[in-house]
Structure 1
C-alpha cells in the first residue's frame, strides 16, 4: 500500500533535522507558550518527528535550554551587525570598540540592544538566571562589554568591578532579590489584609507597596523606566570612578 504524502514527509523529516533547526523550533515554542509549554514531546510534535530524533542531537532538556539561551544571546551580536550596516558599514564588534562616541553611550547602546533581545524572548532571562556558567555567546557579549570599558579608559580593576555591579543588566534584564511579579501577589481580601498588617508593623514597606507598580516585562519591577534608571545610575557612577582613578 503506497504511503500518503504526509507519511513520506514524516519519514524524511529526521534526515532534515539538525541541532540548529531543533533549537530554532524550541525558541519559537517558548516565545509562544513560555517555558511551561516547552517539553521534548511537544517540541517533537511541533517538528513532526519522533522525540528520539531530538535526543540524537541534544541529550536532554537542560542541554536544549542551554542551546536556546546561547542562540538568544547570539542575537545581540546579530542586531549590532544590522545596526552597523544601517549606519554605513563596519563589523558588529567594531560598533562597540571603534570609539564612536563616549564609552558610556556605547555601553548603554550595547546593553539596550541586549534588552531588546530579551524582550523578544522573555523566558530567556529566567533560564540565564538559573545557569551557573556562561554559554559561548554570552562570553562573546561580555567580551564586547569589556572592550567598550577598556577602550573608554576604564582600568582592568574597574571593569571587573563593573561586571559584578551590572550583573544580569549587561544581558538586558534585572535579577531581583524576590519574585514580586503580579502572578505571585495576593489579590482581593488577601491583599487588603496584608496591606493592613504591614501598615501597622512595617509602614515604609506598606507605603512602597501601595505606591509602585509590579508589572515589568521581564520581572516584577523590571519595566523600562526601572531598568533605564538603574543603568544610567550605574554607568554615571562608573564614569566618575574612572575619572577619579585617573586623578
Structure 2
C-alpha cells in the first residue's frame, strides 16, 4: 500500500518490458538492449524481468512482434481504388515505421519464425489481391515476390548493419575495382541518395523502384488471368 503523497508504481508487465526495450533500441541501438539495461529503465531488478520474458531471445522476438504489430495498425485503414496504389501506400507506411525504428529490419531478418502479427498482414494482403481479381495461385506467388517490402524494407544480401564498426579495406576495394570496371562505373555514376535510407542500398528511391516494378509485373499477370 502506498503511503500519503506516494504514487503507486505501475505493475511490471511483458508489454512494459517490450516498450522499454524498444525505447532503448530507438535511442541507443539494438546492442544497447540488455536485460539489466531494460531493468534500469523500468527501475526494477533484472531478475524481475524473467517472470515475463524467459530470456533475451524471447525479448528480441517480442520486440519484433511489437514492431510488426505497429506496421499492421498503420496499414489497416489504407484502401485505394487500385490495388497497386493500396499496396504502394501500405508499404511506404510500413517504411515510415522502420525509419522510426532503424534497428528493426536487421532484427526481423534474424527471426526463424513469423510473428503472429504477420499473419494479419498476409490475410489483408490476400483479401485485397483476391478482391482485385487474382487467383490464389498468383496471390501466393505475389506474397513471395513482395517479401520484406510489405514490412517497409528491402532485405539486401550481405548488407552491413547501420551501426556496424567494420572498416572498409581501401586497398582491397581498389584491387576489386581494377577487376570489375562495370561495377566501378555504376558506383561512380549512380550514387545512392541517402534520403529515407535504412542502409547503404535500401534507400527510398531503390525501395520505390523495386516496389513499383513488382506491382506492375503482378498487375500484368493478373490481367492475363482474364
After TM superposition, the score normalised by the length of structure 2 is 0.88
Structure 1 residue ranges, 4+ long, deviating more than 6 angstroms after superposition? none
Matches within 5 A, 1:1-247: 13=9, 16-80=11-75, 92=77, 95-96=78-79, 100-179=80-159, 184=166, 186=168, 190-191=169-170, 193-211=171-189, 212-213=191-192, 215=194, 217-246=197-226
The aligned length equals 219
In the TM superposition, what is the alpha-carbon distance from 1:108 to its structure 2 partner? Answer: 1.0
Distance 2:20 2:127 in 1: 33
Distance 2:75 2:20 in 1: 23
Distance 1:63 1:123 in 2: 17
Q: Quick check: 2:91–2:152 contact (8 Å CA) kept in 1?
A: yes
In the TM superposition, what is the alpha-carbon distance from 1:79 to its structure 2 partner? Answer: 2.4
After superposition, give the CA deviation of every residue in 1:17-50 in whole Å (9 maximum; x if it has no partner): 1111111111101111111111001110111000
Which structure: greater helix fraction? 1
Structure 2: stretches of 5+ with no match in the other structure? none
Distance 1:66 1:195 in 2: 37
In the TM superposition, what is the alpha-carbon distance from 1:196 to its structure 2 partner? Answer: 3.2
Inter-CA distance 185–228: structure 2 relative to 1 (3 Å threshold): farther
In the TM superposition, what is the alpha-carbon distance from 1:218 to its structure 2 partner? Answer: 1.9
After superposition, give the CA deviation of every residue in 1:115-164 in whole Å (9 maximum; x if it has no partner): 11111111111111011111111111122222221111111111111111
In the TM superposition, what is the alpha-carbon distance from 1:185 to its structure 2 partner? Answer: 5.7
Q: Quick check: 2:75–2:94 contact (8 Å CA) kept in 1?
A: no
Inter-CA distance 207–194: structure 2 relative to 1 (3 Å threshold): farther
After TM superposition, the score normalised by the length of structure 1 is 0.81
